[in-house]
Structure formats: structure tokens, C-alpha cells
Structure 1
Amino acid sequence: MDAVAGRVAGGATVEFRPTGSSMVPLVRSRQQVTVAPADPSKLAVGDIVLARVAGTVYLHLVSAVDPARKRVQISNNRGRVNGWTGHNRVFGICLAVDGVPRTGASGKTRRDA
């Protein structure tokens, strides 16, 4: 996931197949996801993002936003909160899962991406 995060942070839109069950049913293990560089200031609860929290990169949900402190809370889809992370550690937003677009996600990408 670190390599994917690096590519997205560098401005690339990336397709990959994450593993694990923490995001079921939104993302099942090995489903293809499309992730583009995110504009963290536009993120909302329910967005799926690629972000680093406490040293680990996750493809997880935004569960809370704190615009004043420029940070978001990251959680899986099973109720586990990973923690808060700064906008500078939110690399991308999930645009599609297995080719099905995520509603509203395309308007939250970085303009320079």
C-alpha cells in the first residue's frame, strides 16, 4: 500500500486490488478500486480514502471531519476507528469499485491531478 500511496501522492490515478475484509460490503477483498489524488478540504463522512494513520496506509472511510484543524478521522466499515490524520496524509479518494463509480467522489479530486 505504501507504493500505491506514493504514486497517488505524486499525482497518479491508480487501479489496484486491496485485500482484507474490513471494508465489506463497500469494498470486498481483491475488488479493483480506482483511486485519484484527493482534495482533502472537500472530503465528507462516508468517503473512501487512501490515507496514512499512525504509520500505516489504509483504504478506509472518513468517519469524521475537523476542517478547523485540517484533519479527518479514518475508520473501517466494521466500526473500528484507526484515528485522526492530517490533510497532508490523505493521498487519494476512491472513485470506483469494480468499475462502479462512487457517488460524489469525482468532485473531490485535486485539480492538478
Structure 2
Amino acid sequence: MGALDAVAARVARGQAVEFRPRGHSMVPLIGSGDQVRVEPVDPSAVEVGDIVLARVTGATYLHLVSAVDHARKRVQISNNRGRVNGWTGHARVYGICVSVAGVPRPRIAGKQRAG
């Protein structure tokens, strides 16, 4: 189990979590080591451009929603460099990034779910 899997488990249980992800796939939206806050999400409310914590094809990512398929209750997850990770169902979208380095993310209101 990776570090993001442990974070995803906590968020899936309804907890808000702050952590510092490592890597460069989300620069400049999230820099390596920036503190992020992720809160439980209502997956049906996410939109293209939201940053979500989701499990796709066996891995957990803190990546962008690049497409939404409301009819099939799924979202497409991609990094900020153009790589598409794949589609995942609402049940595997655990949280939404509400802030990066203390700066609130836009368009978050109404997307969080109560724990």
C-alpha cells in the first residue's frame, strides 16, 4: 500500500487530510512538497479542472478531472502534463483538493460531502 492509499482510506472514512505529495506531474498547480488539504467529495459534483484523490487502474492519484461522464457515473483522471491516467467510477473518487499551500482552490463550494 502506497502513501496515497493510506490518505485515500482516511478520506473515504470521512476525514479531511493534509499532506505533502511528492512529484512533478501536477506542477504548477501543485509543486512537489506543497501542503494540500483534501476533503471527502460528492463525486457527482466534480467538474473538469477539479483536483481529486482517486483510484484509477490500481493506483491512487491526486490529479485533475479531465472529463466527466454523468450517464455512466465516472470521471477521467489526468496529470497536469497531458497524460491521461484513465476513467474511474464515482465509488473510487475519494476526495477533492480544497487548498494548495494554504491557497483555496476555486469552485469547491458544494462539492464536499459530510463525513
Smaller-chain TM-score bracket = over 0.9
Is 2:8 the counterpart of 1:8?
Answer: no
Alpha-carbon distance in structure 2 between the residues aligned to 1:37 and 1:71: 17
- 5+ residue gaps, structure 1, are none
Output the TM-score relative to the length of structure 2.
0.96
The answer as to whether partners of 1:95 and 1:105 remain within 8 angstroms in 2 is yes
Count matched residues.
112
Residue of structure 2 equivalent to 1:51: 54
Alpha-carbon distance in structure 1 between the residues aligned to 2:47 and 2:5: 23
* Structure (1/2) with the larger helix percentage: 1
The answer as to whether partners of 1:22 and 1:76 remain within 8 angstroms in 2 is yes
Q: Which residue identity is paired with 2:95?
A: G
Q: Percent identity?
A: 71
Alpha-carbon distance in structure 2 between the residues aligned to 1:52 and 1:67: 18
The structure 1 segments of at least 4 consecutive aligned residues displaced by more than 6 Å after TM superposition are none
SS at match of 1:95: strand
- Note the C-alpha offset of 1:105: 1.4
Once superposed, what is the RMSD of the aligned Cα atoms?
A: 0.6
- Note the C-alpha offset of 1:106: 3.5
SS at match of 1:109: coil
Alpha-carbon distance in structure 2 between the residues aligned to 1:15 and 1:43: 20
